[in-house]
Amino acid sequence: MISYASSSSSILRQSYDVFMSFHGDDTRMGFTSHLYDALTRKHIKTYKDDKSLEIGNYIAPDLLEAIETSRFAVVVLSTNYATSKWCLEEIAKVVDCKEQGKLVVIPVFYHVSPSDVRHQSISFEQCFIRYEEDPEISPQKVATWRSALAKVGSIKGLHVTPHRSESKIVSEIIRRILQCMQDALPVNVTKGLVGIESLLNDVIKILTLESSDVRFIGICGMSGIGKTTLAEVVFESIWNKFEESSFIENIKDVSRDHCSDLCKLQHKILDDVLKDDSITIRNVKHGQTLLKTKLRNLKVMIVLDDLNHTDQLTYLAGEHEWFGPGSRIIVTTTNIDLLNPFEINEIFMCEELEGVEAHKLFCQSAFGKERATHGYEAFSHDIVKFAGGLPLALNVYGSLLCGKEEKYWKEILKKVQEYPHKQVLEISYARLDGDQQHTFMYIACFLKGMDVNLVKDMLSNIGLYPECGITDLVNKFLITINHDDCLWMHDLLQQMCWEILHKESQRFGGKQIAIKYHKDVVDILLSKPQDLPNLRYINLAFSKDLTKIPDLTSAQNLVKLNLEGCSKLNKLHKSVLLLKKLRYLNLNGCTTLQSLGRSNMEMEALVTLLLSGYSTLEYIPNFGQNMKCIEHL
């Protein structure tokens, strides 16, 4: 199968697909606005500078960077374009990058003649006469501007005239960009991957893109085999062949019982496809109806990643008839049986990496190249042999051994021979320093899936050093940061962490740093109140039989309390409303909770209070005068 040579959540992309250069007063509210909207609807990442005034004669550094990191430059040349020194600086930089082969230039002659641009006649000439007479502008700079404008004017572009439809010009620009992007995609999306090209071609083949039928494709295999990576590469390679597209990551554990989460995923699909985040979904049945009525005339591509329950597919993409002709739905899962009730056209089975590719992936992680360093060839061969072809394990082993001496390799090789994968992955955990271990433990138990900046803030508040810790864990392939800037960790590593926690009772300051298993949680909350002063987080979400919360008076360092979906919770202990350091309280979906208590809320640090999904809530207490941190209600 396949894997990244670096963080598995980051397909390499340039910062922007398109840089737009235009004169604001001429086109900002018309042509440029329509073009920008069309580009973003097609998921083409576009830089459009909306500054209306220039600041001095120098182009801003962020504009230079945006031009340098873009693949295309759309230059809208209008009557007053040359009146802006800012625009002329942009076009000079654009031409410089073009001549270095860094970007493609698409000129749009907006009610001006290409000849006037090439030769700087009429309004363009008047501007340059002023620049040449300006003592603050060097003759060399004026010459550079003239040359750049002439070169862009010589490129075959698109001509907007009173007799040509602007919408057709916009469509043609989109067509050209998408075609060029499609031609370049196989190189970009496969860079840094091992064994991907043939698999990408195999999946595209079974998708039969030329067919107008709606097709459902399953990508199946064990955890850590590279299903998500393959789905990402396929998506990045062909999404622009569809009218709209949506990639839904990490759906695992969202089921009908977690109906609010299923509704959020339904909303994301509708928002991705229809570009309308104002849609309201009342319940999963309503969301199901919206999906099959609003998408049935659209040719869409949807990827549903990491399913582990039939409800997920039932309510997100239940039938072929929901989608327009030519649509493609890709599902990844470790459980092929859950696809049986559905009309799946083809199933692609992911398999372990074989000899050469497994060795190449391991060497990339261990040595930063595709071959082992001299003297380590035999060790590398043995590690790969005992590790098998699981990309996750090969990456973790490689990062663990990177830069280590021969005797360290011998020790790890001995352990690889003695223990199966799960125990060997524990070796990686054991080699972390204390701060890294604690950071890893908190992410595994509480913070997986959360925004990375929020996680850093929370970890800093409990005395850890998250900037270093998170960076180190990413470099060791133990966690990743996905496209939404959320922290993620593979299921195998998360489960390993839970087992270490349970078996070895890791302690912090004399107390357990985290409690995962149900029995341990109940034991601590009910029979060991003396342990609560060090308690930072409680996550009891979707505890179906939870009816009340015990006295948390001694938990004065509690930062986060998640009770979402506790549908039988009918009483909230008054101590909760007096927790001075609590920043996050989630009571979404606590449908039998009638009130939060009668005394005032005195939660000075509270930032987020979530109360949606109630049917019985009758009373919310007054906020105390010190509750000044609340931002989200």
Catalytic machinery residues = 90
Distances (CA, A) of 383 to 58, 222, 416, 612: 56, 20, 7, 51
Strands 346-349 and 560-562: unpaired
To which residue do tokens 């850093």 refer?
Answer: 456
> What is the strand order of the sheet 608-610 is part of?
537-539, 560-562, 584-586, 608-610
Q: HSE on the CB side for 448, CA within 13 Å?
A: 19
DSSP string, 200-266: HHHHHHHHTTT--S-EEEEEE--TTSSHHHHHHHHHHHHGGGSSEEEEE---TT--GGGHHHHHHHH
Give the H or E element holding residue 480.
Answer: strand 480-481
DSSP at 444: I
Contact predicate 482/488, CB 8 Å: yes
415 by DSSP, 3-state: which? Answer: helix
First to last CA, the chain: 45
Contact predicate 624/602, CB 8 Å: yes
For residue 245, which of 231, 256, 226, 230 has the smallest C-alpha distance?
231
Q: HSE on the CB side for 447, CA within 13 Å?
A: 28
What angle separates helix 377-387 from helix 406-418, to the nearest 10 degrees? 20
DSSP string, 551-596: --TT-TT--EEE-TT-TT--B--GGGGG-TT--EEE-TT-TT--BS
- Rounded Cα distance, 125 and 226, in Å: 59
Contact predicate 129/168, CB 8 Å: no
In this structure, what are the phi and psi dihedrals at residue 37, rounded to the nearest 5 degrees? -60, -40
For residue 259, which of 234, 278, 287, 231 has the smallest C-alpha distance?
287
Q: Which residues pair with 619 in a beta bridge?
A: 595
